Amino acid sequence: MTEVATPTAARPRRAASLGLLVFALVVTIAGFAQVGLARDGSLPTNMFGYALAIVALAGVSYFVMQKWTPYADPLLLPLAVLLNGLGLMMIYRIDQTTTTDFPEEKARFEAANPGQEYVPFGVGADIMGQLMWTVLSIGLFIAALILVKEVKAFQRYHYTLGAVGLVLLMLPMVPVIGTELNGARIWIKLGPFSIQPAEFCKMAFVVFFAAYLVKKRAALSLVSRKIWLLELPRSRDLYPILGFWILTLMVLAVENDFGTALLFFGLFVSMIYIATGKASWVFIGLSLFIGGVLIIYIGAQLIGIDHINQRVEIWLSPENYFGGGCKLPDGTVDNMMDAKPTWDECMAAGGSYAESDQLMAGLYAMGEGGVLGTGLGQGQPYRTPLAFSDEIFTSLAEELGLTGIMALLMLYVLLVERGFKVAIATKDEFAKLFAGGVSFVFALQIFVITGGVTKLIPFTGLTTPFLSQGGSSLLANWVLIALLIRLSHEARKPAPVAIQDEGMTQIVNVGNLR
Amino acid sequence: MNKSMNDQLKRVALVGLALIAVLMINANYIQAFQAKDLQTHALNNRQHQGIFLRNRGDIYSADKVKLAFSEPLSPGNKKSKYQRKYIKNAEVFVPITGYFTSNLSKAGVELSFDSILDGQDERQTATSWIKTLAGEKPLGGNVYTTVDAKAQQVAYQRLTSQALTRGAAVVIDAETGAVKVAVGFPSFDPNTVADVQKPDAVAAALDKLTKDRQQPMVNKAYAELFPPGSSFKTVVAAAFLSQNGNSMETPVPAPISTPTGGSKPITNSHDDGINCGLATAPLIRTFAHSCNTTYALLGAEDQYLGNEAVRSQSEKFGFYKRIPIEDDLSAPASEYPHNVQNRDEILRGSFGQGETKTTPLQMAMIGAAIANGGEMMKPYLVDKAVARVEGDDGKPEEAGTIYKADPSAMGKPISSDSAGQLQEMMRRVITDGTAGVLRGRNIAGKTGTTELTATRGGAWFVGFAPADKPKYGFAVFVEGSTDLYGASSAGPIAADIINALNQK
């Protein structure tokens, strides 16, 4: 390897970071303003409060970052602030609709469903709650920046963290606390709080895998047999991946969430590959995953566990399930749109009931947006169920159009790219694996949730990082950003002064001479 | 083992970025290419949102009579709802305009030009894209139909004056296929189902209309099938003429009676021993005097013509498949019995009784093909559509033409020679045949009478006009009239409609 990844310009990028941060804040606050102008023709009255809160949070973060990690990558904080701000803006926009009445919708609903209570659009969107979570998350971010001097410190607790991750992953399967949302059990409910453990689980696993692979990468790189281009590892080295494979398939079978299974297995395989550089691991991983998924789905088909295949069917032909579809024991799907009450009738017929309304409504929102979008505050993203969380991507796609979400996806591209850059710049093996794993799982999560709402893969209930309404996701992602910032600071900061004093000849950068 | 892991990190980074790139490609596919399909997807009720807040375009007749338009409920208020309104006596124009109910069901031009009328059509957006970029929504476009309002009024008025149960009249410009007249009876006033402020009244009105046994919401001009009676003999005669060596002077059997397998033999309405009621007579005489036995035998006996030849000719005229008129607007498929073992059904079907069923539009198209030298044009209702934008004074202004009809042929069901002979035969019906009552009206055609029962029966007149210089093909059908003969009930109506069309 001829190039050296350590950045040569090891100087703080204060101005760049500040400029980008100001840009992120301007975009966010202008977004708030536009929602008000488009909806009511005036600036939202509470906008200044929100703006002040966001500016203050960003300002403090910037200050802390400059003080404790001055050499950090200048892009990470502005990217996180912009993404979080765009999420707040969209949640605010949908929250606003809740307060507006839809008298006609209400009348139509009540005429069609006598005795049932009308649920207005946008119900559940909560800008105040999300602002509070943002404050907590950025607080945690600041705390992490100040307190975590060495990301390597986590390496010591990797078994503990691995166990915590395992428990978190299994928690939603536990009957009482695990709750089912949209057919998938990836949430747990503790009193008034619902938590998506996958968010914290993802961090715990990254730490565990990184530490484990630092120890085992030599062994896992050994080749026992070579079949054509494939360098097979020793069979006993296969046990960990097989163990994790079984765990992932349990997630798929019990939690019924293809996305979560893909997320964790993809994370594991990518990290093994980073550690060993052996393509055979990728091959083994992919074969296991595809084989396992087929076993589960075909097995479910044979045994007759309908609800597992139903998620795939909804993905393939959502029309049948629009307004509620009932898969009858003979395998046919009866659309129950006009039957009331649908659930009871389906159960009485011995069928399995599911709806595709959220997926379809999200796609309709995207169609409505087209290339240029309807404009902020001028679309109807609130028509999609969970427009502020699961479907926030399609809500943005409706109002900002293809143009807007291409820019949004570019923000994610930048964030992932900066994350990998940190991984490459870092010297320590654990830190490298950690940063690489975190960056990849971030990209994979965006793929899984966004691919789900855009009907690229079966729908999943994971959150869209920084955008979705919800505390667990925001907390976890801000902590990850803090750790990446810390790592990038460590990687980019100049070598200790004492060495420099011995003269310039001592710090010749070999890579640059070549 | 690679010591630094940097190569792997780069590759994994590329995979991660590739995943997001896939999302980008997918988003492009959905929002740039699929957007239109998603917006108009059958299950997507967003397309109905705000539909009453938009100024839906006008529908005009060819002579610029405004047949349908939208009015703001509270003028001056930008957020006012619009009320769809139809011309006074709108029941006359329903086969053209269709309807647009306040619970969003649509038919006719309202359905097939919905995206233009609603202002959501891409073509419309393209003409005013600068305004679209500036955030202005385009207004609904105007649609200009081919129908002649004056002739349409005459047609409806004459149909209803016959005290009948059902009836229809269709006139087509033979050269282009433009529908000049399309009326049906019974009809209904689309205003009664359009009131956006009274959804309950509309629901009740719709319920009553759909339960009506006469089906007034199904227009009789092109949406319902009737037995064509003797007017179907035109198709059999066309099939006969298309056989080698046959002409209108070729002798064909015209016996007094043709036995059937059933109880009642087929007879003629009158047997004078010159035209009908003799061993053979020239084709033209059996046509002019409408000998049932001739056409029953032609259709059933291969030695004369045969079932397959008539079926094939029917198909060339457009039977057995829906007739396209506009997008989402077509006429049901006409039928002539074939592939049946029952000889009686073929015998009766061959002079337009029993299982033979057709629409007035289909019969008018046959008249038009004969008038047009054998070439049959695709019928159409809309001549052009014009985009509208908001003018400087806030009033809608017409902008560019975004749709123009492009007349096209559906085929050539008969040769020009056959067409000429059929024209002559149809003229003979007037000069020396069943429609002598129409002498001097410069019109030619074939009469038809369907199964005479005590209370119900229908009369047809199918042909072309003017007789000396064919320009229009037409079909008029009346049912339940006190006068059940095609010549005396349907014929004069046709002559009056053509008269109104020619008065310019």
For chains A and B, what is the number of CB pairs under 8 angstroms? 143
Of B160, B64, B169, B68, residue with least CA distance to B114 = B68
Torsion (CA) A71, A72, A75, A79 in degrees, nearest 10: -150
Asked whether residue A312 is assigned to any structural domain, the reply reads no
Q: How far is A242 from chain B (nearest CA, A)?
A: 22
CA distance A123 to A362: 16
**B73 contact A CB<8A:** no
Residue B382 has φ and ψ, to the nearest 5°, of: -115, 125
**Contact criterion met (CB < 8 Å) for B5 and A277:** yes
From the CA of B128, how many Å to the nearest CA of chain A?
15
Testing the interface with B: which of A121, A280, A450 to mutate, by most B Cβ within 10 A?
A450
Q: Which residues contact A380 (CB under 8 A, 6 or more apart)?
A: A121, A365, A368, A374, A398, B46, B49
Q: Which of B8, B11, B31 sits opposite A402 (nearest CB)?
A: B31
Q: Taking the CB of residue B462, how many other CB atoms lie within 10 A of it?
A: 35
H or E element, residue A202? helix A198-220
Tell me which of B194-208, B313-327, B385-399, B427-441 is least confident. B385-399
Residues in chain B closer than 8 A to A402 (CB atoms): 27-28, 31-32
Please indicate whether, in this complex, the C-beta atoms of B27 and A412 are within 8 angstroms of each other.
no
**Among residues B148, B174, B140, which one has the least CA distance to residue B385?**
B140
Given this model, what pLDDT does residue A312 score?
84
Q: Which residues of B45-60 are buried (b: 16+ CB within 10 A; e: fewer)?
A: ebbeeebbebbbbbbb
Q: Flag whether A343 is in a domain.
A: no
Structural domain harbouring A369: 14-303+356-513
Q: Cβ separation of B24 and A409 shorter than 8 Å? A: yes
Asked if residue A205 lies in contact with residue A244, where contact means CB atoms within 8 angstroms, the answer is no
Distance (Å, whole) CA B14 – CA B5: 14
Measured at the CA of A124, the angle between CA A122 and CA A127, to 5 degrees, comes to 90
Fold of B229-378+409-502: Beta-lactamase (3.40.710)
The number of residues making up chain A comes to 514
- The answer to whether B333 and B320 are in contact (CB under 8 A) is yes
Is the pLDDT score of B397 beyond 60? yes
| Amino acid of residue A161 | L
In tens, the pLDDT along B39-87 reads 888 888 887 777 888 889 999 999 999 999 999 888 877 778 899 999 9
- Cα A319 versus chain centre, distance: 27
Look up residue A390 and give its amino acid: D
**Would you call B31 an interface residue with chain A, using a CB distance cutoff of 8 Å?**
yes
Q: Quote the CA–CA distance of B275 and B286 in Å, as a whole number.
A: 6
Residue A313 lies in a domain: no
Residue of B204, B385, B236, B358 lying closest to B300 (CA atoms): B236
A270 and B2 within 8 Å at the Cβ level: the answer is: no
Distances (CA, A) of B114 to B59, B92, B148, B206, B430: 11, 21, 22, 20, 44
For residue A311, tell me if it sits in a domain: no
Determine the 3-state secondary structure of A456 from DSSP: coil
What's the alpha-carbon Rg for chain A, to the nearest Å? 25
Q: Where are the alpha helices (DSSP H) in A332-382?
A: 342-348, 357-369
Report yes or no on A420 lying in a domain: yes
Q: pLDDT, tens digit, for every residue of B177-191?
A: 999 999 999 999 999
Q: Is residue A174 part of a domain?
A: yes
In a domain, A325, yes or no: no
Interface contact flag, B31 A371, Cβ < 8 Å = yes
Domain count, chain A: 1
Spatial contact of B273 and B313, defined as CB atoms under 8 Å apart: no
Burial of B164 (0-12, 13-18, 19+ CB in 10 A): buried
Q: Torsion over CA of B45, B47, B50 and B54, rounded to 10 degrees?
A: -160
What does the buried/exposed string (b/e) look like for B103-141 if buried means 16 or more CB atoms within 10 Å of the residue's CB? eeebbbbbbbbbbbbbbbbeebbebbeebeeeeebbbbb
* Rounded Cα distance, B368 and A163, in Å: 85
CATH class of the region B51-146+188-215+383-404:
alpha beta
| Cα-to-chain-centroid distance, residue A208 | 19
**Which DSSP helix (H) or strand (E) runs through B376?**
strand B376-377
Inside any domain, residue A230: yes
CA of A441: which chain B residue's CA is closest? B16
Among A2, A37, A221, A273, most B C-beta atoms within 10 A, so best to mutate, is: A273
Domain spans, chain B: 51-146+188-215+383-404, 229-378+409-502
One digit per residue, the tens of pLDDT, for chain A of length 514 reads 444 444 445 677 888 899 999 999 999 999 999 988 888 778 888 888 889 999 999 999 999 999 999 999 999 999 999 999 999 999 999 988 765 556 666 766 776 667 777 777 777 888 889 999 999 999 999 999 999 888 888 888 888 888 888 888 888 777 766 666 655 666 676 666 677 788 888 889 999 999 989 888 888 887 777 777 777 787 777 787 888 888 888 877 887 788 888 888 899 899 999 998 888 889 988 999 999 988 888 888 787 777 777 888 888 888 888 888 888 877 778 887 766 667 777 888 778 888 888 899 999 999 999 898 888 888 888 888 888 888 999 999 999 999 999 999 999 999 999 999 999 999 889 999 999 999 999 999 999 999 999 999 988 878 899 999 988 889 999 999 999 999 999 888 887 655 545 555 555 555 444 4
Handedness of CA A211, A426, B9, A413 (dihedral sign): positive
Contact A444 B35 (CB under 8 A): no
Q: How many Cβ atoms sit within 10 Å of the Cβ of residue B469?
A: 9
CB-nearest to A444 from B4, B19, B49 is B19
Residue the block writes with tokens 């031009």: B109
Q: Does B34 touch chain A (CB under 8 A)?
A: yes
Taking a C-beta distance cutoff of 8 angstroms, is the pair B262, B399 a contact? no
What is the ipTM for the molecules in this complex?
Answer: 0.89
Handedness of CA B479, B483, B487, B490 (dihedral sign): negative
The Cα–Cα gap between A154 and A420 comes to 19
What is the three-state SS of B304-358?
CCCHHHHHHHHHHHCCCCCEEEECCEEECCCECCCCCCCHHHHHHHCCCCCCCEE
Do the domains B229-378+409-502 and B51-146+188-215+383-404 match in fold? Answer: no
By CA distance, what is A378's nearest residue in B?
A: B135
pTM of the full structure: 0.71
With CA atoms as reference, the chain B residue closest to A276 would be B1
Range scoring the smallest mean pLDDT among B46-60, B378-392, B442-456:
B442-456
